[in-house]
């Protein structure tokens, strides 16, 4: 193979032209080590911030959920009622019951809880007065009569008196979240009858024990004593 006399010159020219392009290619793809380390450090800081933000959001959601649960508990759970203790004299030691006698509501409840049959023999179908503290009111819808519940020493045993409103009232209703009983007079005014916590004396006929309640029917309100 014969080479041209001009080949060395041509090869030298090609080599000179190619060298700058090779240098530019290396500059385009090469990143200084210090710059690379800086980018890696910033990326690590960004990932750390993302983790901290995610943790904070989770804690906020948990705190909000706990707050809602606490608020719901406070709204639903009623305050605990104080425990009432009451010792009643033995029923066998009592004098015969006569009309006009007054029986304490706690005693009446205790006697029926201890021996309902014996309590029936003494109290059922008898008319007498009962004294006690008002625990609550019951006013069924669409029924004119209302009920007064007297406090007892046992939350599972109640004494309930059923009343018919006096003629002067168009209706009887509860107000102030059920804590007060009032009578409506011709739609013009309201008259307070009693409120929770009042000590009252009622007169009615004992109907015996029903659904853990000693029931008095045909009751009238004898007196109200405001504490």
pLDDT at 22 over 60: no
Count the helices and strands in the chain (H runs, E runs).
4, 9
Mean per-residue pLDDT, 43-70: 76
Helix (H) or strand (E) holding 168: none
User: What's the mean pLDDT when you consider all of the chain?
Assistant: 83
pTM: 0.63
pLDDT of residue 42: 82
Mean per-residue pLDDT, 55-60: 72
β partners of residue 146: 163
Q: Where are the beta strands (DSSP E) in the chain?
A: 102-104, 127-138, 146-150, 158-163, 171-175, 180-185, 189-195, 199-210, 213-225
Looking at the structure, give the CATH architecture of the domain made up of residues 94-225: Beta Barrel (2.40)
- Asked if 109 and 87 count as a contact pair (C-beta separation under 8 A), the reply is no
Question: Tokens standing for 175?
Answer: 């107000």
Length, in residues, of the chain: 227
- 116-147 pLDDT, tens digit each: 999 999 999 999 999 999 999 999 888 899 99
- 109-118 pLDDT, tens digit each: 999 999 999 9
Question: Tokens standing for 97?
Answer: 């019951």
- 144-189 pLDDT, tens digit each: 999 999 999 998 999 999 999 988 999 999 999 999 999 999 878 9
């Amino acid at each position: 193979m014969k080479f041209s006399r001009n080949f060395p010159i041509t090869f030298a020219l090609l080599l000179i032209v190619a060298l700058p392009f090779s240098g530019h290619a290396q500059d385009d793809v090469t990143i200084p080590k210090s710059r690379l380390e800086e980018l890696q450090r910033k990326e690590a800081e960004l990932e750390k911030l993302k983790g901290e933000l995610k943790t904070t959001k989770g804690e906020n959601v948990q705190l909000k959920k706990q707050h809602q649960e606490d608020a719901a508990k406070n709204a639903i759970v009623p305050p605990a009622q104080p425990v009432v203790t009451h010792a009643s004299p033995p029923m066998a030691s009592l004098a015969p019951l006569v009309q006009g006698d007054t029986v304490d509501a706690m005693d009446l409840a205790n006697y029926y809880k201890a021996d309902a049959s014996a309590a029936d023999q003494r109290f059922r179908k008898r008319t007498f007065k009962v004294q006690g503290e008002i625990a609550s009111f019951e006013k069924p819808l669409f029924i004119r009569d209302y009920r007064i519940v007297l406090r007892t020493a046992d939350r599972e045993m109640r004494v309930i008196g059923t009343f018919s409103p006096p003629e002067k009232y168009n209706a009887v209703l509860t107000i102030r979240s059920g804590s007060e009983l009032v009578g409506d007079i011709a739609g013009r005014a309201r008259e307070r009858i009693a409120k929770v916590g009042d000590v009252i004396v009622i007169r009615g006929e004992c109907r015996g024990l029903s659904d853990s309640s000693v029931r008095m029917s045909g009751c009238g309100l004898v007196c109200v004593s405001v504490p």
